[in-house]
Chain A
Amino acid sequence: MISELFKRVEFYLDARQNKEIFIYPGLNLGAEHSNVHTQAEATVFGFWVFLMSDAIIFGMAFATYATLLQGTAGSPGPRELYHLGPIFIETLLLLTSSFTFGMASIAMKYKHPTSHLVGWLLVTLVLGVIFLGMELDDFRTMFAAGGLPTQSGFLSGFFGLVPLHGLHVTAGCIWLVCMLGQIAVHGLDSETKLGLLRLALFWHFLDIVWIFIFSVVYLGGLA
């Protein structure tokens, strides 16, 4: 109770001196959203614990892929199946969507009109959906060239890793739609803001996983 009060006072003083206080990783909402800001400390830390455990899962999928890389068993290998062009466009799509989500976070933090926030979120969603469409098209091209998950250890490793990221992006898109619904129904209340804070972290995190996918899987396979 007392410590809570002290925290509030501290925020207020720091806000008056226009110092920003950072209490969790990610874009801090700051003193202008004091209620959410204090609440977010625990919630966002918990979400980071989830993200890091998710990172471990991805890490193990990468290790499995690396282990199985040589086991093509006479079926098509990376050079026959990977195409740099679509991967490059997908990379740019995901990177741009990370930037547009950043713009959405800024619109939320500095209390721009909600339409700005919704606009940036919609752009992010569209970029995410185009990314997924292109990735599915890649898989279809691979299937047509004989790259089925059952063909070899290498392909099992590939389809254990890359679609796992795709599933995460799908989950992120569904979550984004839910957040848009929440904004439409409840407006920008504390719960919605907390959700958007966490979704932003999730989205940026998936972009980091993609760095490793295009570097290790695609560029590494075609180098």
Chain B
Amino acid sequence: MSKPVTRIPATNALMTNKRRDFMSYVWGFGLALILTLVPFALVQWQATTRGSLLIIIAVLAMVQTVVHFRFFLHLGRKRKREDLLLVLFSTSLLIIMVAGTIWIMANLAERMTPI
């Protein structure tokens, strides 16, 4: 039983798998390229006000992160539940710690700055 599973001939379906894997990277690359080009272009030509620029950059960064996870790291609903849970749990930890730090330190700076 330690004998490895014998080589499966390259059937059509296997070619489809290969094509699907390949297209995953192509889609990921294409989408990430667009999601990179847009904010760089907007900042280069200062398209709108600073406030709306920051919001657009943040939203596009979030979308690009999801694109990378989906197409490069192949994380999704079809995978085992624990892996997605690990990533989501770590993300929630990150959000709590980062947002908490910024909140507390900004509040502190505001209160401690001499008028």
Interface residues of A (CB under 8 A from B): 5, 8, 11-12, 15-16, 18, 20, 22-28, 30-32, 34-35, 45, 48-49, 52-53, 55-56, 59-60, 62-64, 66-67, 70, 84, 88, 91-92, 95-96, 98-99, 102-103, 106, 109-110, 201, 204-205, 207-208, 211-212, 214-216, 219-220, 222-223
* A204, B72: Cβ atoms closer than 8 Å: yes
* A106, B21: Cβ atoms closer than 8 Å: yes
Q: Which of B5, B32, B57, B98 contacts A215 (CB 8 A)?
A: B57
14 A-B pairs besides A32-B5, A204-B68, A214-B36 with CB distance below 8 A are A15-B5, A16-B8, A24-B79, A25-B73, A26-B74, A53-B90, A60-B97, A63-B98, A102-B29, A201-B73, A208-B65, A211-B61, A219-B39, A223-B57
The docked-state distance in angstroms from the alpha carbon of A208 to that of B101 is: 22
Contacts of A66 in B (CB 8 A): 98, 101-102
Q: Across the interface, name the chain A residue whose C-beta is closest to B11.
A: A18
Q: Could you count the A-B residue pairs with CB atoms below 8 Å apart for me: how many are there?
A: 152
Minimum-distance CB pairs A-B, first 6: A18-B13, A52-B90, A102-B25, A215-B61, A63-B101, A223-B53
Q: Across the interface, name the chain B residue whose C-beta is closest to A66.
A: B102
How many residues on chain B are close to A (CB under 8 Å)? Answer: 58
Q: Which of A31, A62, A207 contacts B72 (CB 8 A)?
A: A207
Least Cβ–Cβ distance between B8 and chain A, in angstroms: 6
Least Cβ–Cβ distance between A207 and chain B, in angstroms: 6
The docked-state distance in angstroms from the alpha carbon of A44 to that of B16 is: 25
Q: Which of B89-115 contact A (CB under 8 A)?
A: 90, 93-94, 97-98, 101-102, 105-106, 109
Least Cβ–Cβ distance between A75 and chain B, in angstroms: 18
* B53, A205: Cβ atoms closer than 8 Å: no
The docked-state distance in angstroms from the alpha carbon of A53 to that of B89 is: 11
Interface residues of B (CB under 8 A from A): 1, 4-5, 7-8, 11, 13-14, 16-18, 21-22, 24-25, 28-29, 32-33, 36, 39-40, 43-44, 46, 50, 53-54, 57-58, 60-61, 64-65, 68-69, 72-75, 78-80, 82-84, 86-87, 90, 93-94, 97-98, 101-102, 105-106, 109
The docked-state distance in angstroms from the alpha carbon of A194 to that of B107 is: 47
Contacts of A92 in B (CB 8 A): 33, 36
* B87, A48: Cβ atoms closer than 8 Å: yes
